[in-house]
């Protein structure tokens, strides 16, 4: 079947009538849910992954991302109805597909951008793509990247882009912990394509799976820029919030009160200061532009430095608090709350917890890590000591992740057990908790609070 050139209605009917074959490269936290959404709408889906364990698990109907709501049920249904087949051979999958979606990771940090996994997927697509198919990159990419793949696909396949196959970018705007919801109903899908013959069928297909519809943009490059700009906007604004927090500590005001009040007028959207910035997106996409335009990305560079300095600021606040009770960091028993990069999920990529814990260890602290999403064995696999469950004799609790479970901790119970009741709150979750007044309490952007009994 030739998808290229189909109308919106023809393309969405092909999906809904079970006549569309889709390959999704990358059966990870984002790709597997997307593959399952396509299957649930009627597509025959090949899930391509280079990890044989993932392929075997998926084909057995076992869910490799059990923490993701809705995935288990969709996987069971798709495997039962034989709508999803996982394979490692991307060329074979591509040769059978009308639509080929690439959702494999591209990593970036201060050292550079790592494109090899995506390039490997493009190699396989090039070797298998058939006439009339459409290739869509959904992984967030430096603007201009998708177009850079065209020569490879043309040279290997002998096809002409825009004429024999379509190519587009439609960035994955999803959050771990709610991926199925985000794919199907949270945000409109941005799509930028090489031409109308590609764009029209994609609008039909993505409108059929996403209640929020589609925002078509004028080019592939614009679509890539949209997702990168979204992430850079957030990273830079978090850095601004962190800088305002450091200034607020000097001013002797509570930055959170100031931000809340500033944001009561519609032109202020100041973000939240914290223990640092982690994740697949925020902080990663900024490096895409820094490495692509080093001479133009001055604000972004400073933002990255600011955000990456926040774990050390949390260590500094801890040292200041221990000094108030004349306790050295060396030998202090510090319970770190959180390994995940943000609350409510089990994900450590670029988590601020790691530089923070390693800095405490460098200072000779006795660090134990508590994260309700990770087993003791998993915590030990990162080289850290798991919290032994007993606050007796602890010198400080340091919050790095805003997991909802931490808000259930009874601080009054903690106060009696800890050797020195110190809470350093990297996410400002305990500021108004019952019993916090009995603690030495610090958080980015506020003055350290010290009960009279310690003064
Ligand atoms: N995780 C998020 O919060 C998030 C949010 C929005 C967008 N994204 C985008 O989605 C991309 C993927 O993220 P993820 O969380 O799904 O990653 P992940 O690490 O959970 O999964 C990636 C999967 O792709 C597989 N893979 C890697 N190279 C491959 C190749 N060449 N062919 C086939 N399979 C391959 C891996 O084996 C793995 O199973 C990110 O790079 C990002 O651009 C992620
Ligand atoms: C659709 C999509 O792709 N969604 C992505 C996903 O991104 P994500 O999963 O990486 O989550 P984020 O919330 O961005 O957190 C990242 C890090 O920044 C810290 N942080 C955050 C806010 C703040 O004010 N101060 C902070 O310090 C936080 O602790 C964490 O470490 O959801 C975001 C919307 O939530 C989206 O914008 C983003 O595109």
**Interval 10-60: pLDDT, tens:** 999 999 999 999 999 999 999 999 999 999 999 999 999 999 999 999 999
CB contact at 8 A, 402 and 246: no
Q: Give the pLDDT confidence score for residue 66 in this predicted structure.
A: 86
Tokens 């009160």 identify what position?
257
Q: Ligand 1: residues within 6 Å at CB?
A: 25-31, 48-51, 54, 90, 103-106, 117, 120-121, 139-140, 172, 174-176, 279-281
Distances from the Cα of 162 to the Cα of 15, 198, 302, 403, angstroms = 21, 7, 40, 47
CA 282–ligand 2 middle distance (angstroms): 6
Per-residue model confidence as pLDDT tens digits over 135-157: 999 999 999 999 999 999 999 99
Domains along the sequence of the chain with CATH: 8-218 (3.40.50.720), 222-455 (3.40.50.720)
Q: Give the pLDDT confidence score for residue 115 in this predicted structure.
A: 98
Position in ligand 2 atom list of the atom nearest CA 280: 10
Ligand nearest to the CA of 307: 2
Average of per-residue pLDDT across 216-237: 98
Q: Is the CB of 277 under 6 A from ligand 2?
A: yes
Q: In what order do the strands lie in the sheet with 422-425?
A: 385-386, 366-370, 333-337, 396-399, 422-425, 440-442
CA 277–ligand 2 middle distance (angstroms): 8
Q: Is the CB of 278 under 6 A from ligand 2?
A: yes
Indicate the top mutation candidate among 172, 173, 175 to test ligand 2's pocket, ranked by most ligand atoms within 8 A of CB: 175
Give the catalytic positions in this structure.
Answer: 227, 281
CB contact at 8 A, 398 and 370: no
β-strands 166-169, 134-137 pairing: parallel
Average of per-residue pLDDT across 212-225: 98
Q: 254-257, long-range: CB within 8 Å, 24+ apart, which pairs?
A: 254/445, 254/446, 254/447, 255/444, 255/445, 255/446, 256/428, 256/431, 256/445, 256/446
Per-residue model confidence as pLDDT tens digits over 387-410: 999 999 999 999 999 999 999 999
The residue among 33, 128, 35, 50 whose CA lies nearest residue 88 is 50
CB atoms within 10 A of CB 360: 23
d(CA 169, CA 142): 11
- Return the structure tokens found at 161: 């882009």
ipTM attached to this prediction: 0.95
Fill in the DSSP letter of residue 225.
H
Q: In what order do the strands lie in the sheet with 21-25?
A: 84-87, 44-48, 21-25, 99-102, 134-137, 166-169, 189-193, 214-217
d(CA 45, CA 56): 15
What pTM, to 2 d.p., does this model score?
0.95
């Amino acid at each position: 079947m030739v998808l290229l050139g189909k109308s919106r209605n023809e393309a969405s009917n092909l999906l809904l009538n079970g006549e569309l074959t889709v390959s999704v490269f990358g059966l990870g936290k984002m790709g597997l849910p997307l593959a399952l959404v396509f299957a649930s709408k009627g597509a025959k889906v090949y899930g391509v992954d280079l990890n044989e364990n993932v392929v075997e698990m998926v084909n057995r109907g076992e869910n490799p991302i059990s923490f993701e709501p809705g995935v288990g049920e969709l996987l069971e249904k798709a495997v039962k109805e034989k709508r999803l087949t996982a394979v490692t051979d991307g060329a074979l999958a591509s040769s059978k597909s009308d639509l080929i979606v690439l959702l494999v990771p591209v990593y970036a940090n201060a050292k550079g951008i790592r494109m090899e996994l995506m390039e490997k997927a493009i190699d396989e697509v090039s070797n298998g793509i058939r006439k009339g198919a459409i290739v869509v990159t959904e992984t967030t990419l430096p603007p201009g990247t998708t177009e850079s793949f065209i020569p490879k696909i043309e040279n290997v396949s002998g096809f002409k882009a825009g004429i024999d196959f379509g190519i587009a970018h439609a960035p994955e705007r999803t959050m771990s912990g709610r991926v199925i919801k985000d794919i199907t109903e949270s945000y409109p899908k941005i799509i930028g394509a090489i031409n109308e013959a590609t764009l029209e069928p994609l609008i039909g297909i993505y409108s059929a799976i996403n209640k929020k519809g589609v925002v078509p943009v004028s080019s592939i490059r614009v679509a890539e820029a949209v997702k990168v700009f979204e992430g850079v906007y957030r990273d830079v604004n978090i850095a601004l919030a962190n800088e305002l927090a450091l200034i607020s500590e000097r001013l002797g005001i509570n930055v959170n009160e100031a931000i809340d009040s500033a944001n009561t007028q519609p032109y202020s959207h100041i973000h939240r200061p914290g223990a640092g910035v982690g994740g697949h997106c925020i902080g990663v996409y900024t490096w895409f532009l820094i490495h692509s335009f080093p001479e133009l990305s001055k604000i972004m560079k400073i933002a990255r430095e600011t955000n990456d300095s926040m774990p050390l600021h949390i260590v500094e606040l801890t040292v200041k608090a221990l000094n108030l009770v004349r306790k050295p960091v060396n030998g202090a028993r510090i319970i770190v709350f959180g390994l995940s990069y943000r609350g409510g999920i089990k994900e450590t990529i670029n988590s601020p917890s790691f530089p923070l814990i390693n800095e405490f260890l460098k200072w000779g602290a006795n660090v134990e890590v508590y994260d309700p999403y990770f087993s003791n064995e998993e915590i030990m696999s990162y080289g850290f000591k798991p919290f032994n469950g007993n606050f007796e004799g602890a010198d400080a609790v340091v919050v790095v992740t805003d997991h909802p479970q931490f808000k259930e901790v009874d601080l009054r119970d903690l106060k009696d057990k800890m050797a020195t009741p110190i809470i350093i709150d990297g996410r400002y979750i305990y500021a108004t908790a019952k019993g916090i007044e009995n603690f030495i309490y610090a958080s980015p952007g506020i003055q350290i609070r010290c009960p009279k009994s310690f003064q």
